[in-house]
Chain A
Amino acid sequence: MKPAIKPVPSRYKNPLSKFKVTRANACVNCLTCVQVCPHGVHWDSGGKIQMPRDNLCHGFACMNKDCYCVDQCPSRALRVTLNPVYDVLGDRRWTADLLLSTWHMAETASVPGNNLEYKTGDSGGGFDRIELILPDKKVKASEKEKVSTSLLLNRRDDGRIKLEIGLPFYGGGMSFGSVNLGTMLCRARAYSAWESLVCTGEGGFPEELIPYQDHVITQVATGLFGVREDTVQRVPMIEFKYAQGAKPGLGGHLLGDKVTPAVARMREAVAGNSLFSPFPFHSVYSIEDHQKHIDWIKQINPRALVSVKVSTPNDVDMVAVGSYYAGAHVIHLDGSYGGTGAAPDIAKKNIAMPIEYAIPKVHRFLTQEGVRDKITLIASGGLRTAHDVAKAIALGADGVVIGTADMVALECLRCHNCESGRGCPRGIATTDPELKLMLDEDWGTQRLINLFSCWRDQLVGFLVKWGMKSITELVGRTDCLRHLDYEPSSEEQ
C-alpha cells in the first residue's frame, strides 16, 4: 500500500529560491498579479497583497507571456531577478537546480514545473553524461497501476527470508553520531512506509528504531561500534561495510566534536575523542576470512540476509564474485561520487572507479560466471535523482542505495560542514542537543515519503514508456541509455 502524500512546506519562512520577486512601494494593491500568476507566487490575504512566494516563481520563462506579472503590473512595481543566493548554492554535482527541485519534490511529491533541471547535475561526467532514451509517448494512469517497482533481495535458495522491498532503492548507512536520532527516525519511518529498508550505519542501533526493525539494516563495519548480537538478531539484513566509495582506504571517522556523551554512550567510547574505524576488518584479510565473517553473522541470525558493501577498485568484479562464493545475498558497490561533507575531498575526488563503470563491469562478470541471478547487485555513490536510479539499473544494477538525496529532502544545503563540531546549520547531521531540535520528525518523514513517491512515479513513467511491467526488466538494458560523449543528446538531435 502506498503511503499518503501530504504537502510539506519548507520549515523556513523564506525558503531559498532560484528567482527573487521584489515589489516596489509603487504597488497599489490592485491584485492583478494574483490573477495573472498561474504558479501561486502572488497571493493575498483578505484583499491585501502578501510577500511573494519566490520559490514558486518560474522566472524568465514567463517573459513575453500574458502571465508575466512584471509586464502586467499596471504600476510597474514588480521586478523578477535571479536570486543572488542561487549563484552560490550547490556545486557541480548537486547543482542549485537539483537542490531546489529535490526540495520541491519533498514538499509536493511532484516534479518541479518551474524549469528547474531536476534530472541531472552539471559535473561533466558520470551520470550527467548519460541520458535515458525515452520514447515520446503519453503515459496513461491505468498503465502506471500495473507496473511493479518491487525488488527481491534474496535470490539464493538457502532457506533465509525472501525479503522484497517496495522500491528499487533503500537508505544507505548513516550512523547515530554522524546524524542525529531525529534524522534516523525520519528515514526509518519513511522507508518503512514504502516497505523498503534503511541502514543504521556504524554507530549502534538506537532503541527508538525498534518499532521499525523489520525495515532496518544494521551495519557491521570495521570499528564494530555498536554491533551486538541482539541488534544483529533483530534485523532482516546485515550489511558488512568493507569500504565506502567516497573514501576507499579510509575507515569511518567521527571527529571529536560530534562524539557527544550520548554518541559515546551508544558506541561505548570516550566522549570528545575522535572515533576512527580501521580501514580493514582486522579479522578479514582474505576471501576465506571474509566467508568466515559472513558465516559468523549467519550463525547469529539464521534468517537474515547478508549484504556486502565494497568500494570500486579495479578488480571490483572479482570482489563481487568472491562475495557471492562467500555467501552474500547482496553485493553493494559504492562508487566514488557520493559522500557527504565528512569524507575528505582528497579521497572523494581521486580514488575509486566511477560507479557507471563499475556496475556494467560487475554485471557482466557475474553473468559470465553464471551467478548473476543468484545475487542482488546494488549500486550507490552519488545517485541523486530518479533518472540516476534508472540509469544505474539500466547499466546492470538491480537497485540502488540513497544517501545524500535523503539529506537534501530534509533541507540539507550541501554546505559541507557535516563533520565539524556543532556542524550542520540545519540540524540534520548534528548531534548537538540544541541544533537537533530544528528537525521535526513528522515533518521530515513526510518530506522523505513525498520524495520517494515522486521518484517512484517517475520510474514508473519510464517503465511504461519502455513497455516494461517491472523494474526488474530494466536491469542491464543499456540500450535504454545514451552516452552523450559518444552520441548526441535528444535535444541536439
Chain B
Amino acid sequence: MTTRKSSTDRFVRAIIEARRPLARLALPRSTVNPEEEGGCGVTGFASSVKVKGRHIFEPSRQMHNRGNGKGGGIAALGLDHNDLGVSAEIVTEDYLLQIAFLDMNCRRAVEDKYVNPYFRIDHIDSLTPVDDYHDVEGLEIRPPDVVRYFIRVKKPVLQDFIMKKGLRFTDDRKAEDEFVYQNTFRLNSEFYAGGEQRAFVLSHGRNLIVLKAVGYAEQVVQYYQLDNLKAHAWIAHQRFPTKGRVWHPGGAHPFVGLNEALVHNGDFANYQSIVDYLRQRNIFPLFMTDTEVSAYLFDLLTRVYSYPLEYVIEALAPTSEMDLDQLSEDKQRIYSLVQNSHMHGSPDGPWFFIIARNNVEDQTLQLIGITDTSMLRPQVFALMDGEVKVGLICSEKHAIDATLRSLADEDPRFGRVADTYWNARGGSHTDGGAFIFNIKPGKNGEAELTCTDKFGQAINIPEYQKPCPFPRPHGVTRSEVISRMEQMLAAGDAVGLYKMVVADLSEPGYERFLGTVEWLKRAAIRDDQTKSTVLKILTLLLDRRYDPHDKRRRSLLEVLNQAIDDILLACPLVGSESSSRYARIDFTNRERLGPPQGEQEILVIDAFDFKPEGCDCDARLQVEAYRLGWRRFICFRYRGQRFTATGLGLGTDEVRFDIYGGSGDYLASGIDGLHIYVHGNAQDQLCQIMKNGKLVIYGDVGQTFMYGAKGGEAYIMGNTAGRPLINGVGRPRVVINGTSLDYLAESFMAGDPLKGGGFAILNGVTFDWQGRLKELPTPYPGSNLFSLASGGAIYIRDPHDKIVEEQLNGGILDFITLEDWELIRPYLKENERLFGISLEKDLLTVDNHLLDPGRIYRKVKAVKSTILAGSEESLVPE
C-alpha cells in the first residue's frame, strides 16, 4: 500500500530530523533525573481588556502556602506595545527573546554568538528592576538581569536554514519558528546546562514574556516593576521544590515551548518515559523538571505535529474506559489513534497545567487549563462575563475571588463574583477535562473572550441578564414598601421578606433591589433582633436560587456579600462595652478574646487577616473561643483560611457555625456534633473523618469530600468534585443535589443503611439561569461508582435509567423498597427545607407527572464479594 505523504507529515519528519544535531548538546542520559517537586500553587486569568501585572499579585500571595518561596514565576500574554516602547506590529510579529543573565559579564559573548549573527534586532530593552532586591520584602536571592530583544531571523540566515534543513515546502514562518527554538536550545545548552550557569532564555515567543526568580511569584512582579505592565492574560506559579539548598531561577515555572508558557501543579510518575519519548523525537530537556518536558510536549504536539488543540489534550489526558465509549464512533477512532501514538508521552500521575498560548495561526490568545484523567490536583475554573470578560483558572477558589477583587478595585467593570465556577472532569466525554479561554480581536478594535471545553462546546451566560452598571444606580425604596418591610421585620418574618425581595426582582433594573438591600442594611443596626432577621433575609438571598429576571446573579451576590460584610463589620468588638449578643473579633484584636460577657452569645470572626494555618489561623482562635464558652460563630470575609471548625473535640452538638466568603480546605474535618452552614462554595478535603454533626453547603464542594467519614449528615446544594466519600465507614448520610465527577463512595464500608448504616443520595439536578431546577444530562457521568464498596448504599435519582452496570465496579443496581424510601424521605424533606428543592414538585415530578418514588430513585448497593469476604468460621459470636 502506498501512502501519500501529507505536507504535515513531511513537516514533522523534517523538523525532527532538523533537530538531530542537537543531540550532541544533550545532557548524558544518566544525569536526567527530575527535580523533586510535588505540589505548587498555580493561577491564571485572561481578560478581554488588557490588565496590569499587579492583579496576579493577590492570588499569588494567597497561595503562599502552596509554595515555599524557592521559585516563582509569571508569564504575560497579549502585551500592550505602548508599555514596551515598540509598534503594535513589532509586538505581534517579532519574537520577544528574553535572556536572563546570572552573570552580566557574559552578555557580550551571548549576543555575539546567539543574537547578533542571526537576528534583525528591532528593539533592545534591559528590564529595570528595583534598585535593591532587598527592597522587595522577602526576596532573599537577587533575580537575574533580563534583556529583552525584539527580533526576526535575518533573511539570508533563514534561507540558509530552510535549504539546509529541507524545509522549502513549508511556510517560511514555521521555519523561522524552528530556528528560534533551536537557537535557544543551543544558547541554554552552552550558557546554562553545560556547566556554569550564566545565562538562559526565559522566553522567545511572540507577544509573550516570562519572568522568574527564586522567591514567590508576586516578588517577580515587584522586582521587575511589572505592576503596571498590561497584558490580556497572566499566569503565575508558586513553587515548592524540596531538593537542593541552592535553588535556581532556571528551574522555576513557567516553561516555554515556543509561543506558549506553561505552569504545572503536580508531578509525573513517568518522567523518564516522557524524556525518552521526547529524546526519540530529538528533544532534549535541560532543566530537569517535569514542567519543562510538559512545555516541550505541548510544543511538539501543537507546532510540530500540528494537531488541533482537542487532540493535543487527548494526547496528554487520554479519555478512557466508559468515557471513551460515550463518544461518537469517529471520535473513538481518532482518539484511539492519538492514544496509541502518544501513550508513552502521556504524563501519568497527578498534574494540572495552565498554559498561556499565542495561537499565531488563528490570531487567538488562549488561556488553557488541563487536568489529568484522574483529577488528582485541585482546580477551579471561573468565568465573569459583562462589559469586560475574564476567565480564571486556579488551584483554589478563593484565589479566583482574590483576583476578581483586585481587578474590580481598579476597574469597576469587573465584578467581584464570577458568573460561574466549575471543576473540569479529567479525560471525560463531558468536557474533556480542559477548558480554553480564547481572546480574539472583535468589533470596534475590542477583543472578544469566549470559553469552550475540549470539544469546543461554549460556556454561555444569557445576554439579557445584565450586570449591575457602574457607577451603581441609586437605590429606590417606596414608602409603601418600607411600611410593609417594617411590619415584616417587626414580626421577624425573614422568609416573607425574602419572598418579597425575590418577587420584586421582576421589576426591571437594579434600583429597587439596591434600595431594599440598602434599607435593610440600615435597619440592621437598630437592634439585635432586627440584625438577626436582616442577616437571615440576606443569607437566604445569598443561598437560594431564584429568577433574577433582567439582572445578573453575580451582581446581586456582590451587593449581598457587601451588605452582609458591612453588617457584621458593624458589630461591636469583643471586649468593648456593649449590650449586644454579637461580639466581633479580628486578627488585630485577637488577644482580646475572653469568655462571653453579659448578653454576648455570637462570636463574629472577621477572618480576613488571619493566617491560613498554624498558630495564627482563625481555626485556632475558634478552639480557644469554644473552650471559653462560645457556642455560636459567624465567620466571614474568608480568604481560603483552612481548618474551620476543626479541633473542637467530641460532643459539640450545641455549636453552630455560619461561614461567609471563600472558606478553605479541611473545613469541618473531624467534627462531632456541631452544625456548620457554608453560604457559598466550599473547598477541598472537607469533613475528613467527620464523626457526627451536620454540614450544609449552599454551593459546590471540592475534592475528597468526607474522606474516611464515620458519620454525620451533609447536604450539598451543588456538586461534589472528584473522590467524595471514599473509605466512609459507620453512618455518614449525605444528600448531593448535583453530581460527582468520579469515584463516588469508593471503598464505602458503612454497614447496612437499613440498619443504621450510611448512604448518599445523588439527585443529579442543577439550576438554570432563571433559578429553575433541571435535570443534568445524567445523574452521574463517570465510572467507578461505588467501587469495591462493602457497605452502605447510594440512592440515585435516575428516572430515565441513565445509570448502567458498566459504571459500577463491584456493586449492583437495584430497585428501592418501601423501607428504603422511608429511610431517605426525611433527608429529602430536610433538603427541601434547606435548599427549597421540593420533594414532590421537583424531585418526584418528571415531565409534569408526579411519579412513584420507586420509579425515580434507584439503589446502588454492595454485594458480598467472595474475594473480600472471610470464611464463615471467622464470624464466631463473642
**Residue pair B868, A300 in contact (C-beta under 8 Å):** no
Alpha-carbon gap, A286 to B684, bound state (A): 14
Instruction: Report yes or no: A433 in contact with B66, Cβ–Cβ below 8 A.
Output: no
Chain B residues with CB under 8 A of A277: 727
In whole angstroms, what is the CA distance A85 to B66 when docked? 59
Is B723 a contact of A286 with CB atoms below 8 Å? no
Question: B868, A273: Cβ atoms under 8 Å?
Answer: yes
Asked if B836 is an interface residue, CB under 8 A from chain A, the answer is no
A359 vs chain B, min Cβ distance (A): 19
Contact of A230 with B650 in the complex, beta carbons under 8 Å: yes
5 residue pairs bridging A and B, Cβ less than 8 Å apart: A268-B710, A274-B870, A292-B685, A296-B643, A318-B243
- With a cutoff of 8 Å between Cβ atoms, the chain A residues found around residue B65 in the complex are 288, 291-292
A253-287 interface bits toward B, Cβ cutoff 8 Å, 1 = contact, 0 = none: 00111111110000111111111111000110111
Q: Which of A219-227, A337-345, A385-393 contacts B (4 or more CB under 8 A)?
A: A219-227
- A442: chain B residues at CB < 8 Å are none
A67 to B358, CA, bound (A): 93
A-contacting residues, B583-637, CB 8 Å: 613-615, 617, 619-620, 623
Residues from chain B with Cβ under 8 Å of A286 in the complex:
38-40, 240, 265-267, 350, 377
List the 5 closest pairs (A to B, CB-CB), nearest first.
A256-B870, A224-B708, A286-B39, A287-B38, A288-B39
Q: Is the CB of A269 within 8 A of B870?
A: no
Complex Cα gap A79–B864 (Å): 57
Whether the pair A283, B242 counts as a contact (CB closer than 8 A) is no
Per the bound structure, the CA–CA distance linking A435 and B383 in Å amounts to 63
**Quick one: given A321-B242, A322-B36, are A262 and B878 in contact (CB under 8 Å)?**
yes
Q: Is the CB of B688 within 8 A of A224?
A: yes
| Chain B 491-523 interface mask (CB, 8 Å, partner A; 1/0) | 000000000000000000000000000000000
How far apart are the CA atoms of A281 and B349 in the complex, in Å? 14
A18 close to chain B: CB less than 8 A? no
B240, B377, B703, B730: which contacts A287 (Cβ < 8 A)? B240
Besides A283-B684, A287-B39, A433-B878, 8 more A-B contacts (Cβ < 8 Å) are: A224-B689, A229-B647, A229-B649, A269-B791, A274-B867, A285-B38, A286-B240, A286-B265
B749 contacts which of A270, A300, A434 (Cβ < 8 Å)? Answer: A270
Instruction: Give chain B nearest CB distance to A314 CB in angstroms.
Output: 9
> Once the chains are docked, how many angstroms separate the CA of A289 from the CA of B665?
10
Nearest B residue to A327 by beta-carbon distance? B614
Determine if A274 and B869 form an interchain contact, defined as CB atoms under 8 angstroms apart.
yes
- A421 located at the interface, meaning its Cβ lies under 8 Å from any Cβ of chain B in the complex: yes
* Size of interface on B: residues with Cβ below 8 Å to A: 78
- List the A side residues contacting B670 at CB < 8 Å: 228-229, 232, 300
Chain A CB within 8 A of B68 CB? yes
The verdict on A421 contacting B350 (CB below 8 Å), with A268-B729, A286-B265 known, is no
- Checking A229, A260, A369 against B691 with a beta-carbon cut-off of 8 angstroms, the contacting residue is A229
The B contact surface, by secondary structure, is: loop
State whether the Cβ of A47 lies closer than 8 Å to any Cβ in chain B: no
Which residues of B from 670 to 729 have beta carbons under 8 Å from A?
670-672, 684-685, 688-689, 691, 703-704, 707-708, 710-711, 723, 726-727, 729
Chain A: which residue is nearest B869 at the CB level? A256
Q: Is A25 an interface residue (CB 8 A)?
A: no
Which of chain B's residues have a CB closer than 8 A to the CB of A292?
Answer: 65, 613, 642, 665-666, 685
Shortest C-beta distance, A270 to chain B (Å), equals: 4
Tell yes or no: A299 within 8 A of B by CB.
yes
What 0/1 readout, one digit per residue, does chain A (105-128) give for beta carbons within 8 Å of chain B? 000000000000000000000000
Nearest CB on B from A485, distance (A): 25
Interface residues of A (CB under 8 A from B): 159, 222-225, 227-230, 232-233, 255-262, 267-278, 282-283, 285-292, 295-296, 298-302, 315, 318-319, 321-322, 325, 368-370, 421-422, 432-434
Cβ of B704: which chain A residues have Cβ within 8 Å of it?
282-283
Q: Who on chain A is nearest to B749 by CB?
A: A269
B66 contacts which chain A residues (CB < 8 A)?
288
Q: Is the CB of B649 within 8 A of A368?
A: no
Q: Is the CB of A261 within 8 A of B875?
A: yes
B876 near A260: Cβ-Cβ < 8 Å: yes
Q: Please state if A422 and B873 are interface contacts (CB–CB under 8 Å).
A: yes
**Chain B residue with the shortest CB-CB distance to A432:** B876
Q: How far is the CA of A466 from the CA of B750 in the complex (A)?
A: 57
Cβ-closest chain B residue relative to A221: B708
- Given known A-B contacts A256-B869, A299-B613, A322 and B38 have beta carbons under 8 A apart: yes
Q: Are B791 and A434 in contact (CB under 8 A)?
A: no
Known contacts A270-B749, A288-B40, A433-B876; decide if A299 and B710 are in contact (CB<8 Å): no
Chain A residues, CB < 8 A from B37: 287
Residue of B242, B731, B868 touching A322 (CB-CB under 8 A): B242
For residue B476, CB closer than 8 A to chain A, the reply is no
- Taking CB atoms, residues of chain A closer than 8 Å to B672 are 228-230
Question: Max chain B CB contacts within 10 Å: which of A229, A287, A299?
Answer: A299
- Produce 1/0 per residue, B779-812, CB < 8 A to A: 0000000001011000000000000000000000
What chain A residues lie within 8 Å of B747 (beta carbons)?
223, 276, 278
Residues of B contacting A285 in the complex (Cβ-Cβ under 8 angstroms): 38-39, 266, 350, 376-377
**Chain B 630-669: CB-based contact to A (< 8 A → 1; otherwise 0):** 0000000000001100111110000000000000011001
For window 333-368 of B, CB contacts with A under 8 Å fall at: 350
The answer on a CB contact under 8 Å between B684 and A261 is no
Whether, in the assembled complex, B871 has its beta carbon less than 8 Å from a beta carbon of chain A, the answer is: yes
CB-defined contacts of B242 to chain A, threshold 8 Å:
287, 318-319, 321-322, 325
Are B791 and A318 interface neighbours, CB within 8 A?
no
Contacts A285-B350, A288-B65: A258 and B870 contacting too (C-beta < 8 A)?
yes
Q: Are B707 and A282 in contact (CB under 8 A)?
A: yes
Shortest B261–chain A CB gap in Å is 21
| Bound: A285/B66 CA distance, A | 13
Please give me the residue from chain B that is nearest to A322 by CB atom: B242
Pick the residue among A257, A291, A321, A434 that contacts B243 (CB under 8 A). Answer: A321
Q: A286-B38, A286-B265, A286-B377 are in contact. Are A259 and B647 (CB under 8 A)?
A: no
Given A295-B613, A300-B646, does the pair A260, B68 have CB atoms closer than 8 Å? no
Closest to A365 in B: B243
Q: Report chain B residues within 8 Å CB of A229.
A: 646-650, 670-672, 689, 691
Residues of A within 8 A of B730 (CB): 268
Chain A CB within 8 A of B328 CB:
no
A256 to B876, CA, bound (A): 13
Q: Is the CB of B643 within 8 A of A269?
A: no
- Tell me, yes or no, whether B751 is within 8 Å of chain A by CB: yes
Least Cβ–Cβ distance between B811 and chain A, in angstroms: 13
Q: Contact check, A290 vs B876: say whether CB atoms are below 8 A apart.
A: no
Query: Which residues of chain A have C-beta atoms less than 8 A from B36's C-beta?
Result: 315, 318-319, 322
List of A residues within 8 angstroms of B791 by Cβ? 269-270, 273
* Residue of chain A at shortest CB distance from B876: A433
Residue of A268, A277, A292 contacting most chain B CB atoms (<10 Å): A268
Nearest-neighbor residue (CB-CB) of B372 within chain A: A285
